[in-house]
Structure 1
């Protein structure tokens, strides 16, 4: 990874580690908050903080077109991607969810190819190996699903990947943090409205742990990791940017073993080795665009 700029390496590590740890935080937050409202308020809060910070630094306000483009990307990635995934997890097991999410880099690379940026052979090998490793890792869990969950999960992945590609190839958000803020604000508001329409209710008493988990999702999961992911989309090829889908389950398993006393099977160790190899291939396949 020596050829990668330090900012890219830092962004990769942020997305890998932070998003890998949010699995547990989401589980804790859902004990008190319904899914769409929890995710929506999380992004509204993060977007508001980032927006205020950018104003304080003197950044210009987004134009109407930049608000529109940021809103489209926010609704696709946050409303469709994270919102539909939360809904799908009510009908799909965690193991099968991980397998479907591991399809994301392949879909992302294929969509990127439609815009003339097809992955190189080494990248395809890394993508396929990463998917195989994710499937092997997820196979320790039980696979079960209802048809509606499969449909929701496919729609979520496609929505996230289409939004990712449009942000990179077609639509133009405001520069820097102001663009990320507008995206999170509109995507979060969309999810809050969706929550009100479907009539979500609190899932339990508001606990300190749930509030702490929600705050972690706002600061680390959204302000740090989501912004880092959008930065990666603008700096590296889609296969590398999407490699979080392979690494996040590994981080989640490692954290579960470290803090939750969970056991790691031999199959999981082999799967993590395969995933590590795939990430190495992806990070060494090409130099980032200047």
Structure 2
């Protein structure tokens, strides 16, 4: 069941980058779109769980839900949605693949956990891949907005990693609560913060949300991306650890690149392809030790 859900997460998250791009290109305000997506998805999930008596309204008012929402939803997707105005969905997915490397660095330098030489090499390799992705584009076109967008995605990914590590502690702190209820609560909090950000920074033309592309993008992201994908991710964190679920970022960039090229006409140069391979290779090397330990523990059980 864990492997099936993991593969499903990879497929879902691999397509959400293009869905975001389609919505943003259809003139849907990025912060408002993101906020609406997560607030509605969280509200539906939480309401359903309350009806099934598997969630308590008091959970929404816990500071842990707010902090998790800031990391996993607000910080991650405010930057991603804004950046995809300037960055292709495939490149956005590749930059998001740095998540496991950042988790490793946080565990090593902040949580003081031991690491291996291979993990350090993987971090250096992943960083080199990012440089290969970014520098040629800046040198050729001087597209500052593109580079700032890429940097924003990396900042958002750092928020995501902090949220993923913190969510593991929250799950342990609320053992009686369903992981799906915890996920729904943090989506409500994060989505509300995104809507507040939109209120102060964006002019929202409601009609733009009703175009076929914008509406289709929003519906797909609410139901498939948030209600299904993020609930499965939270379930995987509860069943394994923060590292293993985050490895969807090894596979999803390849799916996102392929989907972007086939269905949206995005282009990939040989330099981009080289950067993609280096980033993903570095990410795998950085987390190989953790993955081996996880597999050994599963075999022991």
Same fold, TM exceeding 0.5?
yes
Seen in structure 2, the aligned counterparts of structure 1 residues 11 and 267 have a Cα distance that, compared at 3 Å, is: farther
Retained in 2: the 8 A contact 1:98–1:134?
no
Q: TM-score, normalised by structure 1?
A: 0.78
Tell me the CA shift for residue 272 of structure 1: 7.0
Larger mean CA deviation between 29-38 and 236-245 belongs to: 236-245
Inter-partner Cα distance in structure 1 for 2:220 and 2:135:
28
Inter-partner Cα distance in structure 2 for 1:224 and 1:125:
35
2:158 equivalent in structure 1: 158
Inter-partner Cα distance in structure 2 for 1:262 and 1:163:
31
Retained in 2: the 8 A contact 1:70–1:183?
yes
Seen in structure 2, the aligned counterparts of structure 1 residues 139 and 218 have a Cα distance that, compared at 3 Å, is: same
Seen in structure 2, the aligned counterparts of structure 1 residues 53 and 119 have a Cα distance that, compared at 3 Å, is: farther
Question: What are the ranges of 5 or more consecutive residues in structure 2 without an aligned counterpart?
Answer: none
Retained in 2: the 8 A contact 1:28–1:209?
yes
1:74 equivalent in structure 2: 69
Decide which of 180, 185, 188 is 1:182's aligned counterpart: 185
1:193 equivalent in structure 2: 196
- 1:190-244 Cα distance to aligned partner (Å, 9 max, x none): 1111101113323947312321221110111111211222233334344433323
Inter-partner Cα distance in structure 2 for 1:95 and 1:254:
8
Inter-partner Cα distance in structure 2 for 1:257 and 1:98:
13
Seen in structure 2, the aligned counterparts of structure 1 residues 127 and 75 have a Cα distance that, compared at 3 Å, is: same
Inter-partner Cα distance in structure 2 for 1:48 and 1:69:
17
The answer as to 2:280 corresponding to 1:286 is: no
The answer as to 2:230 corresponding to 1:223 is: no
Decide which of 25, 30, 36 is 1:35's aligned counterpart: 30
Retained in 1: the 8 A contact 2:90–2:253?
no
Retained in 2: the 8 A contact 1:15–1:229?
yes
Inter-partner Cα distance in structure 1 for 2:187 and 2:71:
11
The answer as to 2:136 corresponding to 1:145 is: no
Question: What are the ranges of 5 or more consecutive residues in structure 1 without an aligned counterpart?
Answer: 1-5
Inter-partner Cα distance in structure 1 for 2:265 and 2:8:
24
Inter-partner Cα distance in structure 1 for 2:159 and 2:252:
19
1:3 equivalent in structure 2: none
Inter-partner Cα distance in structure 1 for 2:239 and 2:89:
31
The CA RMSD over aligned residues, in Å, is: 3.7
Number of equivalenced pairs = 283
1:49 equivalent in structure 2: 44
Larger mean CA deviation between 116-125 and 197-206 belongs to: 116-125
Larger mean CA deviation between 14-23 and 169-178 belongs to: 169-178
Inter-partner Cα distance in structure 2 for 1:63 and 1:153:
33
Retained in 2: the 8 A contact 1:101–1:157?
yes
Inter-partner Cα distance in structure 2 for 1:215 and 1:39:
12
The answer as to 2:23 corresponding to 1:19 is: no
- Indicate the SS of the match to 1:167: helix
Tell me the CA shift for residue 106 of structure 1: 1.5
Seen in structure 2, the aligned counterparts of structure 1 residues 240 and 131 have a Cα distance that, compared at 3 Å, is: farther
Tell me the CA shift for residue 270 of structure 1: 6.9
Q: TM-score, normalised by structure 2?
A: 0.75
2:107 equivalent in structure 1: 112
Tell me the CA shift for residue 53 of structure 1: 1.9
Tell me the CA shift for residue 18 of structure 1: 0.9
Inter-partner Cα distance in structure 2 for 1:18 and 1:121:
33
